[in-house]
């Protein structure tokens, strides 16, 4: 069945003709011969759409429409009339009727078009609402309020900036610190929460396609533009647009984004018409935009437009009091997901979690618990679970030790009597530097190679040598 249609009309011919035509098209049809009967039926049998006659024996169609709107404000109502009446039609439309059909002419085709249009819009609205609810639930599920002083300062700024629903926000922090969650929290606390929050990772989309993704395009604007497309700015109207990895935008697109922030108007690619929107822009980066501005890789005027309110999300190593609450949260989350029964983390395992430097931040912690809970059995997380998973990884700790060894050799001016592992020492230091550069660049190998001033092929060789994964990790914020 396509949908349920309620026909309220005292004309027996209409109550016979319309149901027959609609049922042939797959609709389920209910009928009522008076206004009161229609309202009673609507209480018992919800309908997707109501076809309502203007003239009824007990109530006028306008009176029935008013009662429907009062009790079911989202109900779709299409008016039917035997004679065209412009004044009544205007009144009905003001009260929320979606359309107005005249019965005195063949209406089958027009009626089917109206039904298809209105019910398609209704389905789309329900899908959008469902998507919003899912995103809101996911945000509530994933968000854990940290106890550290640095995160309390972040929360204070978030709650303050959410009160203004137009102020631009720039969220800065290392890859994996949860910048995306902070952006979603700002949206959820703001007056825009019932409107869309759309996001785009500027590093994940080729630069030549990012413009079309943001601004949309007109049919024929370029070779593959076979039809008109709305961009994210247009689709996010009334809500929030989240620009992740904003430093990856080309200078050309930066100019266009700046104009949107200044005027809230833009043109689709290949278009001539100005489109006006109301959108809050939240951006995020794990790069140093100030350095990029000095190097003329990022526009200074856009930088200050985006950074009206800056929020720095600290890395996990700077807020160690949040590590165990996050770990317990992920443990409970993956217990539910995988049907496991881990109930606690023992003290030895807690000490490992607290001493590890977490170069991948919250993402690394989450992935660790997903892997452990999925692959392990038992009722508690113990040291063996963690030493097997992260003992090889804390290269910064070993690199610090290697640096101390190297420094003592250089300061002493001679090799220790027991010898000196030059290759191993330099390797640990090099691996740690590569890891830090990968963290700084969000896992992007080209940017990492630029940071380390080496060719990308040489970087990939070193990454393979030191056991890094060859593909960059997906960003969480």
Domain membership flag for residue 450: yes
- The reply to whether 309 and 329 lie within a common domain is no
HEC string of 44-111 equals HCCCCEEEEECECCCCEHHHHHHHHHHHCCCCEEEEEECCCCHHHHHHHHHCCCCEEEECCCCCHHHH
Q: Does 184 share its domain with 288? A: yes
Taking CA atoms, 327 is separated from 178, 216, 319, 330, 379, in Å, by: 15, 41, 13, 5, 15
Q: Which domain holds residue 63?
A: 4-125
d(CA 37, CA 176): 59
Last residue of a domain, one of 314, 342, 359: 314
What pLDDT shows up at residue 214? Answer: 92
pLDDT at 391: 47
333 and 306 within one domain: no
Identify whether 261 is part of a domain.
yes
- The rounded Cα 283 to chain-centroid distance in angstroms is 12
Q: Is 143 domain-assigned? A: no
Tell me the DSSP string of 33-44: SSHHHHHHHHHH
Q: Are residues 218 and 349 in the same domain?
A: no
pLDDT digits (tens, 9 = 90+) for 35-46: 999 999 998 888
CATH number at residue 370: 1.10.8.60
Residue 213, CA distances (Å) to 69, 285, 392 in order = 38, 19, 41
pLDDT band at 463 (very low <50, low <70, confident <90, very high): confident
Together in a domain, 283 and 377:
no
Query: Is residue 135 assigned to a domain?
Result: no
Same domain, 300 and 341: no
Q: How many domains does the chain have?
A: 4
Same domain assignment for residues 19 and 96: yes
Of the pLDDT bands very low, low, confident and very high (cuts 50, 70, 90), residue 183 is very high
- How many angstroms separate the CA atoms of 211 and 230, rounded? 12
Read off the pLDDT of residues 254-280 as tens digits, 9 standing for 90 and up: 999 999 999 999 988 888 888 999 999
One domain for residues 163 and 301: yes
User: CA gyration radius for the chain?
Assistant: 31
Asked whether residue 12 is domain-assigned, the answer is yes
Select from 334, 366, 386 the last residue of a domain.
386
Within 343-419, strands assigned E span 344-345, 380-381
251 and 272 share one domain: yes
Q: What is the CATH number of the domain that holds 77?
A: 3.40.50.2300
Q: What 8-state DSSP symbol labels residue 248?
A: G
Same domain, 171 and 306: yes
The answer to whether 19 and 13 are in contact (CB under 8 A) is no
**Residue after which a domain boundary falls, among 125, 140, 173:** 125
Sign for the CA dihedral angle at 361, 367, 184, 258 comes to positive
Most confident stretch, 171-175, 354-358, 419-423, 469-473: 171-175
* Conformation bin of residue 373: beta by default, left when phi > 0, alpha when psi is -120 to 50: alpha
**Contact 442/471 with Cβ under 8 angstroms?**
no
Query: Do residue 223 and residue 304 come from a single domain?
Result: yes
Please name the residues in contact with 46: beta carbons below 8 A apart, sequence gap of 6 or more.
4
Give yes or no for residue 187 having a pLDDT over 60: yes
Whether residues 308 and 176 fall in one domain: yes
Is there a domain that residue 142 lies in?
no
| 309 phi/psi in degrees, rounded to 5 | -125, 110
Is 474 a member of any domain?
A: no
| Three-state secondary structure call for residue 419 | coil
Question: What's the predicted TM-score (pTM) here?
Answer: 0.58
Asked whether residue 59 is domain-assigned, the answer is yes
């Amino acid at each position: 069945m396509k949908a349920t249609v309620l026909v309220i009309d005292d004309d027996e011919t209409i109550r016979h003709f319309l149901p027959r035509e609609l049922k042939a098209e797959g609709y389920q049809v209910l009928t009522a011969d008076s206004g009161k009967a229609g309202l009673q039926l609507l209480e018992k049998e919800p309908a997707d759409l109501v076809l309502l006659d203007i003239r009824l024996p007990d109530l006028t169609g306008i009176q029935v429409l008013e009662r429907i709107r009062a009790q079911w404000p989202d109900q779709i109502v299409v008016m039917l009339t035997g004679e065209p009446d412009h004044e009544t039609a205007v009144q009905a439309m003001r009260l929320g009727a979606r359309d107005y059909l005249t019965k005195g002419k063949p209406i089958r085709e027009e009626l089917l078009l109206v039904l298809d249009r209105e019910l398609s819009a209704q389905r789309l609205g329900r899908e959008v609402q469902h998507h919003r609810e899912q995103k809101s639930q996911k945000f509530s599920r994933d968000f854990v309020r940290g106890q550290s002083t640095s995160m309390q300062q972040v929360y204070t700024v978030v709650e303050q900036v959410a009160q203004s629903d137009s102020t631009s926000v720039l969220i800065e922090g290392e890859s994996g610190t949860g910048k995306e969650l902070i952006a979603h929290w700002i949206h959820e606390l703001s007056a825009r929460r019932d409107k869309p929050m759309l996001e785009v990772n500027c590093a994940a989309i080729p630069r030549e396609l990012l413009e079309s993704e943001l601004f949309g395009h007109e049919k024929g604007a370029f070779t593959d533009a076979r039809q008109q497309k709305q961009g994210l700015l247009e689709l996010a109207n009334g809500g929030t647009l989240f620009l992740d990895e904003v430093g990856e935008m080309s200078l050309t697109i930066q100019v266009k984004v700046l104009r949107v922030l200044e005027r809230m108007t833009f043109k689709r690619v290949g278009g001539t018409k100005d489109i006006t929107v109301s959108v809050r822009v939240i951006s995020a980066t794990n790069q140093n935009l100030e350095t990029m501005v000095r190097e003329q890789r990022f526009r200074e005027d856009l930088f200050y437009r985006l950074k009206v309110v800056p929020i720095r999300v600290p890395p996990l190593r700077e807020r160690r009091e949040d590590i165990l609450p996050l770990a317990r949260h992920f443990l409970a989350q993956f217990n539910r997901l995988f049907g496991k029964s881990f109930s606690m983390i023992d003290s030895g395992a807690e000490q490992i979690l607290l001493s590890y430097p977490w170069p991948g931040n919250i993402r690394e912690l989450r992935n660790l618990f997903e892997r452990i809970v999925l692959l392990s059995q038992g009722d508690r997380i113990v040291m063996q679970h963690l030493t097997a998973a992260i003992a090889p990884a804390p290269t910064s700790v070993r690199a610090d030790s290697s640096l101390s060894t190297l420094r003592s050799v250089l300061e002493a001016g001679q090799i220790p009597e027991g010898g000196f592992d030059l290759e191993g020492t330099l390797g640990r230091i090099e691996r740690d530097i590569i890891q830090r550069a990968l963290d700084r660049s969000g896992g992007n190998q080209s940017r990492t190679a630029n940071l380390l001033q080496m060719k990308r092929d040489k970087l990939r060789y070193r990454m393979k040598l030191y056991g890094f994964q060859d593909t960059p990790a997906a960003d969480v914020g």
